[in-house]
Structure formats: structure tokens, C-alpha cells
Structure 1
Amino acid sequence: MGFLARTLITAVAFWLAEYLIDGISFTGPINLLIAAVVFGVVNALIRPVIALLSLPLTVLTLGLFTLVVNALMFAITAGVMPGMRVASFWDAFMGAIIVWLVSWVASRLLADRATPAVNR
């Protein structure tokens, strides 16, 4: 999946998170797109380091600590973006779950569309 598609999917996920969670807000649609790019950069650069450092906790919690790492990436994005506001950790936690879920569904739909049908 291309960079533009991932960015648009993340922007839609941010919009949905803003719509569903009172503690998340953006100043405008351009800010959604910029936040999606920043989120991608944060996930590409910072997430691997945090994931490696938190590996013992992730193993100990059978992978559930990954949700906390996702929330931290969401909160870092909000901290870097002047037009994005996240009120609390739990808002970031729920926002990260929404972004993950939307991204997962979109990648499944796009992967199914890209896979050619098998002739029987």
C-alpha cells in the first residue's frame, strides 16, 4: 500500500477518533492530514525504539502492553502537532485503538481487492 493511501486512511481514522471521543480534537481537515503524516513518521522512527525497550513488559503481558505503546505514539503525535489535542492518556488509548482498527480494516479491504480471484 502506498504512502498516500496510508496517510489518507490514517487521516480518516483520526477524523473518526475525533468524532467518537470527546477528548480528541483537530483544528481542521488540513491538520488531520498533517497529523497523519506526523503519526507515520513517529511510528517509523520512535515506535521501534520504544517497542524494543518495552519488550520485557510486552512479553510479560502477553502482548497487551503493545496497546500502551500505541497510545504513547498517539500522544507523542498530539504533543508534536499544534492543532491536535488529546485530553488524557485514556483518550489517546481509545484513539489509538480506533486508528488501529480502521487501518486494519482498510488494509484488509485493499489487500482483498488487490488479490486476483482464483479461477476454479
Structure 2
Amino acid sequence: MIFKLVIQLAIGVSGLWLAVKFVPNVEFIGPIWPISAELNWNNFSQTLLFAGIFLGVLNFFVKPVLNFISFPLRLITFNLFSFVIIMGLIWAVDLMSPGLTIQGILSLFLTSLIIFTFSAVLTLK
């Protein structure tokens, strides 16, 4: 159980890092806390860790509940509705994290695609 949580945290942090590097209009701007306005790398790493850990926790605790509730939709769409769930979770992280900025539905879609792919590959049994 702890291993699964660690995997979800790693998926969140690495997926957001890849999205910032390769997806246009996805960026970390400003610090998480207004007190720490020193180096850009420090602000970037703090924001990345905060947003990635928040996404990992949402994936670990909230996603199973949403998967259970949306089981009929996932059954009809051959589990593609799980992608919509991940997209909604990333949107929630974008709203809750002051340093993360995802502008536009295409950027949100591509970020979700990266994290969905990471999650599918790393959680294979």
C-alpha cells in the first residue's frame, strides 16, 4: 500500500516535470509561499514537489472513489473515461496550486496524456 502511494507520488512529480518541459503553456510561475522569493530553481522545485505530491495524493485517495462511481461510464467507453477522471484531477491541481499554470484545454489534454501513460505503464502488474 505504501509502495503504491510512492509510485503515485513519483508519477505525479515526474509527469508534471515532463509536461513543463515539453507541453506548451504549462509552466510553474512564482513560489508556493510568498515568503520564499529567492532563486528560480528553488521556486520551481518547491512548486513541482507540491503540485506533484498533491496530484499523487489525489490519484491515490480520490481516483479510486471516482472510478467506483463512474464504473458504468468506464464500462461503456472501454475505460477511456478514466482519462477524463485524470484530466479533472489535473485541473483540480491546477486550481489549487498557485504556482502551476496550465493554459488551455489542449495543454491540459497533453499533460493528462503524459500522466495517464505514466500511470498505465508504471502500475502494470
- TM-score by shorter chain over 0.5: yes
Report the Cα offset of residue 77 of structure 1. 1.0
Q: Given the alignment, which residue of 1, 4, 21 partners 1:19?
A: 21
- 1:89 aligns to what? 105
Which consecutive residues of structure 1, in runs of 5 or more, have no partner in the other structure? 112-120
Is 1:34 matched up with 2:36?
no
> Is the contact made by 1:57 and 1:65 (CA closer than 8 Å) also made in structure 2?
yes
User: What whole-Å deviation, never above 9, does each CA across 1:8-44 have from its counterpart, x for those lacking one?
Assistant: 4532221111111112111312111111110012123
| Secondary structure, aligned partner of 1:37 | helix
Calculate percent identity across the aligned residue pairs: 24
Partner of 1:78: 94
Report if the CA contact (8 A) 2:19-2:26 is conserved.
Answer: yes
Q: 2:82 aligns with which of 66, 69, 78?
A: 66
Q: Distance in 1 between matches of 2:120 and 2:92?
A: 21
Paired residues of 2:9 and 2:57 also in contact (CA < 8 A): no
Please state how far the C-alpha of 1:53 moved relative to its aligned partner. Answer: 2.5
Measure how far apart 1:50 and its partner are: 2.2
Query: Structure 1 runs of 4+ off > 4 angstroms?
Result: 2-6, 103-108
RMSD of equivalent CA atoms: 2.4
Gaps of 5+ in 2: 30-43
**Computing the radius of gyration over CA atoms, which structure comes out larger, 1 or 2?**
1
